[in-house]
Amino acid sequence: MAFFTITAFLAGLALAVIESTFMRAVEFASVRPDLAVLAVTVASSRTHFGRVMMLAFVLGFSRDFISGGAIGMNAFSLTFMAYFLALTQDYLLTENWTAQLFVTFVSASVFGILFCLLKITLQYEPGSGYHIVKTIILTSLYTSALGPPAFKLIRKPNAPLYQRLKLKYDVEHETIPESKV
């Protein structure tokens, strides 16, 4: 877990640097796709709960180094978002592109809403309501557009989903899924 955490932290730093530099090339209407959200969403479909939570926390924490605001804001929002994803993963299998699009859009929206709420709570200037709503929706749309390609790219070809494997394992060993306990 320590190795995973360090790797995730370094990857998070690299991701944050990429977001702050290269992603400007694909900026559209002052909105960029959220790579950290995308990474956590894709990872949630291929690894277990603990890792997803840790990944979300570490990615958010490393992003906090570069982004403005208080340290921990991204970590907080991403962790909550990962928890939300973990809850939905028990009911939704992201096996087709529609589900992937939907999950990415919802998770990006959740992250945006949480981040805005946190910003307001910490008494940062939130900006106009129109701007907030526009940014959340456009960012979510943009991120969700990258969802299916990211799922396809990161997952190995013809590899079944983690959830599917887990379900199969649970059925074969006649155990009750842990989330249902």
Partner 1 sequence: MECWRTACSEPKAQYDEPVTSTAGCWGSFPPHFLRGVHPLYLPDFLWKYKRPITLILLVGMSCLLMIDSLHRRWVSRASIEIASEAVSPLQKTAESMYAGGRNALDIVPDFFRTRAQNAALRKQAGQLQQEIALLREELLREQRLSALAAFTNKIEGPKIVARVIGASPTPWFGEVTIDRGNSHGVRMYLPALSSYGLAGYVVETRGHTSKVLLLTDSSSRVGVVVQRSRAQGIVQGNDEGGCILKYLESTADVQKGDVLLTSGNSRIYPMGLLVGQVGEVKSKPGTLFKWATVTPATDFGKLEEVALIVTAVASEIKTESDAGDS
Site residues, partner 1 (CB under 8 A): 13-14, 16-18, 20-22, 24-25, 46, 49-50, 53-54, 56-57, 60-61, 64-66, 70-73, 75-76, 79-80, 83, 86, 122, 155-156, 159-160, 162, 165-166, 168-169, 173, 175-176, 179, 181
In the bound complex, what is the minimum distance in angstroms from residue 116's beta carbon to partner 1?
15
51 vs 134, beta carbon nearer partner 1: 51
Q: Measure the CA–CA gap between 151 and 97, rounded to whole angstroms.
A: 9
How many Å separate Cα 82 from the centre of its chain? 6
CA 122 to chain centre: 22
- Distance in Å, CB of 105 to partner 1, minimum: 22
- Of the candidates 106, 108, 42, the residue with the CA atom closest to the CA atom of residue 78: 108
**CA quadruple 97, 90, 164, 155: dihedral, nearest 10:** 50
Q: Nearer Cβ to partner 1, position 68 or 129?
A: 68
**Which CB atom, from 13 or from 137, has the smaller least distance to partner 1?**
13
Shortest distance in whole angstroms from residue 62 CB to partner 1? 9
Do the Cβ atoms of 41 and 149 come closer than 8 Å?
Answer: no
Residue 24 or 130 having the CB closest to partner 1: 24
Closest CA to 112 of 95, 93, 129, 135: 135
Residue 4 beta carbon to partner 1: minimum distance, rounded to whole angstroms: 9
Shortest distance in whole angstroms from residue 107 CB to partner 1: 15
DSSP designation for 72? T
Specify the 3-state DSSP secondary structure of 46. Answer: coil
